[in-house]
Structure 1
Amino acid sequence: MNTSIKFGSIHLIVLSLLIHLGAVAQKESTYLQQLGLKDSLYSKTLSETRTIYVQLPSGYNPENQREYPVVYLLDGEVLLPALSSVYENYYGGFMPEMILIGISNDHDRTKNLTPTTITTKYGMPFKEENGEAATFAQFLKEELIPFVENKYRATSYRTLVGHSYGGLFVCHELINDPKLFANYLAIDPSLDWDDQQLLKQAQKPLQVELEGKALFISMSGQLHMQDPTITIDNLMQDTSDFTLFSRSIVQFSNLLKEKGKGLKSYWKFYPNDIHGTVPLPSMLDGMLALFHWYQMEQTDKFNSPATPKDELYAIVKYRAKKLETHFGYPVPPYPEDLMNMSGYMNLDMGQPDKAKMFFELATEYYPTSGNAFDSLADYYESQKDYTNALKAVSKAYALSGSNYHKERMEAFGKKK
């Protein structure tokens, strides 16, 4: 069913392939935006109730069969707004629709996110509880992730994001349990912890296979708190404690590029940001880098009336195979809205064969969508093929049960 205005200009197809234009009705609210549904679970591992904040995709429907990848964000009570802003601006064309899980670390943060126990730090007594990252990792693996995947329509394709001690935890997970997540985003990670303990661990031959995994590490511009002459160019020549934090990040990144067999590794320096401001730009660049493979290809071909139908079909099938390779399970290559729009636009351009192809592909990749079959019925109606139009809309009615589709069935039945 064409629920939108038919578009005369082919230029709109580029926009629709770069931006997910699915219009979702907004419920009336006192607020401009509501962010992060609060949820919780009791953890036997941690002996406490742990709060999480759940941000669902706009089209999320617990009743249908569609499932979504998940991003697990440490310090979610602080960082979820930044991640949500990045996601809302780039999902669809640059990254998949995903469920965002903000994990609260508002207490026992140092204890939960650091991998080894210390009593002094930079020569000073360190009295905070620390060193139980392995226990927190057990909570993620055995309790939180199963909780999310049982309660929400979540897949096993996961991304882990953390800042500072959270970034340290992200790197710890990559080295010690890389099967749990596909992507790792470590923002200005505290890799100086315990005299670079994790760096020393990574210097040994890695006992894990990182094929297909991706890591993005960022570093803020705070290289030396007291000496402004220290720059990214001479950082590694300094041996003072003041640069150990930054040097550890550079060393860890370089080491993984050398030893991380199969790992796709990214590193970026933000000279104009400090430790507290670097999360937002890191999330933007990091998520785009980690999901660079998701970005739509050859959109100019869709925009050109001269592109042969077979070439367009090959592009769609290539993308479907590419996404399945990365996710590990089949997913539709494009949102249903975009396939439908491509079909209607080709009808408007007088290219019915291409239109039929897009409508049929929509029914192939969205076989439970009444709207997809109703749009195919529109194609057959435009060709005055009322027999097949009736078959298509009958399928739509079987899926939707809507009176609209029933009325169309009756109308086509009279025209046969």
Structure 2
Amino acid sequence: MKTFLLVIITIITFGINTPIIKAQENLNPHYLLEIGIVDSLNSKILNEQRNFWVQLPENYNPNNPEKYPVAYIIDGGIHLNTVQTVQNYYSGGYFPEMILVGISNSTNRTRDLTTSQVNKFNSTELDENTGGAEKFTQFIAHELIPYIDRKYATTSYRTLIGHSYGGLFTINTLINHPYLFENYLAIDPSLDWDHQKLLNEAKIKLQNENYRGKSLFISLNGQLHMQNSDITINNVMQDTSDFTLFARSNITFSNIVKQNEKNDLFFEWKFYPKDIHGTITLPSVIDGLIAVFDWFQMENTSKINSFDTPKEEIYNIIKYRAKKLKTHFGYAVPPYPADLLNMSGYMNLDMQQPEKAKMYFEQAIKYYPKNPNVYDSMADYYESQNDQKNAINYVSIAYVISGNDIYKQRLKKLQQKN
């Protein structure tokens, strides 16, 4: 049966302190419950119970064979909502649907996200533990990721997103544990930590390591100097005060990355002159995910939309996209959503191009062999060609797969006609 869908092909086309984190998480517990599934695990590595939230894609079904990439979000109590909003608007055309895991950092945040032990930071005495990033990384690698992979339909393709200290943690993970994630979004990272210690490490690692298949996006907010508005992106590197160390560290790191292009790391850096540290997350998540998934965006949409494009050329476009996605993900995935392939088939059927319509339905069956609707659609094709025998065959397959009485009833009607 033809399923009418609202498908438009052309559419495919300064550090956050712990009290603030605590306040926002504690003020919104019920809201977070609506955004993601509350979960936790007892970490032997950290010797404590760790909370996190899991947001599943809208069409997620544990009984279906489809699996999803995963995005891990530091400070999930604040930033999960943001990433979820961006996914609602952009996924499917700009980047794939993903399972989102928001890790709570409301307790011991500075300890977990900073990369070295210090007693003073920016001339301020610290009354909390620091330098636990390595242990927190081990928690993610050896406890959290395996837990998520066991419980949900995940793939091995992962993204890490962090802001401020979380951005510092994100870059540290890329530099010292690049195997854990494919994409790294470091939003306004606190690279000034411990006299730019991570920058010195990066100079060596970025020169000697190969980061093929890895992507890094870094952003910088527009408040370059807290007390001097005359400091701009054009002259900030000439300032030597502590007020600009945050920005200068960010820019210096980006220059280090650019000087080591031979390591094959995909890199994009963006400055947000109208944003401050507290507002930069939203635009950074949008631009960052679009950037690191640039290869995912659909190509040749004008040819797909044109009914004059030959069937063979459309077939080659589909084949090329399937190969491209497999190259980047590291495993085979359908080149287009089943609904899009189906709708394209129906559109060509309506335009009296039955062979092209059949090709679309065949591709839908090829890439979604356990989806009953694609077989039902192929039955529509055969019925339009007055081939009742094949129409009955494909509706029968849809019924065997699903056991749905709708297909059973259609099967009876077709058999009566035959």
Shorter-chain TM-score range: over 0.9
The whole-number CA distance in structure 2 between the counterparts of 1:12 and 1:107 is: 45
- Is 1:319 equivalent to 2:318 in the alignment? no
Match of residue 23 from structure 1: none
Deviates more, 1:320-329 or 1:404-413: 404-413
1:341-360 aligned within 5 A:
341-360=343-362
Amino acid at match of 2:166: G
Q: CA deviation at 1:153?
A: 0.6
Contact preservation (8 Å) 2:223, 2:277: yes
Match of residue 168 from structure 2: 168
SS in 2 for 1:339: helix
Q: CA deviation at 1:12?
A: 4.1
Q: CA deviation at 1:330?
A: 0.4
Match of residue 241 from structure 1: 242
Match of residue 42 from structure 1: 42
SS in 2 for 1:34: helix
Match of residue 337 from structure 2: 335
The whole-number CA distance in structure 2 between the counterparts of 1:278 and 1:200 is: 26
Higher share in helix? 2
Deviates more, 1:33-42 or 1:93-102: 33-42
1:84-163 aligned within 5 A:
84-163=84-163
Q: CA deviation at 1:315?
A: 0.6
Contact preservation (8 Å) 1:189, 1:249: yes
The whole-number CA distance in structure 1 between the counterparts of 2:258 and 2:52 is: 33
SS in 1 for 2:364: helix
TM-score (norm 1): 0.93
TM-score (norm 2): 0.93
1:298 to 1:401, Cα distance in 2 relative to 1, 3 A: same
Q: CA deviation at 1:302?
A: 1.6
The whole-number CA distance in structure 2 between the counterparts of 1:408 and 1:182 is: 46
Deviations 1:328-378 (A, max 9, x none): 000001111101100111111111011100111000000001111011001
- Is 1:396 equivalent to 2:398 in the alignment? yes
Contact preservation (8 Å) 2:175, 2:205: no
Match of residue 310 from structure 2: 308
The whole-number CA distance in structure 2 between the counterparts of 1:113 and 1:409 is: 60
| CA RMSD across the alignment | 1.7
Match of residue 70 from structure 1: 70
Q: CA deviation at 1:125?
A: 2.1
1:18-29 aligned within 5 A:
18=13
Q: CA deviation at 1:34?
A: 3.3
SS in 1 for 2:181: coil
The whole-number CA distance in structure 2 between the counterparts of 1:245 and 1:69 is: 32
SS in 2 for 1:53: strand
Match of residue 285 from structure 1: 287
Amino acid at match of 1:197: K
Amino acid at match of 2:36: G
Q: CA deviation at 1:127?
A: 2.3
Match of residue 22 from structure 2: none
Match of residue 268 from structure 2: 266
Deviations 1:47-77 (A, max 9, x none): 1111111111000001111100000000000
Deviations 1:75-126 (A, max 9, x none): 0001111111111000111110111111000010000000100112233322
Contact preservation (8 Å) 1:257, 1:263: no
The whole-number CA distance in structure 1 between the counterparts of 2:80 and 2:416 is: 55
The share of aligned pairs that are identical, in percent, is 55
Contact preservation (8 Å) 1:14, 1:302: no
Match of residue 225 from structure 1: 226
Match of residue 214 from structure 2: 213
Aligned residues: 399
Q: CA deviation at 1:205?
A: 4.7
Deviates more, 1:324-333 or 1:393-402: 393-402
Q: CA deviation at 1:414?
A: 3.5
The whole-number CA distance in structure 2 between the counterparts of 1:60 and 1:179 is: 27
Structure 2, unmatched stretches of 5+, are 14-29
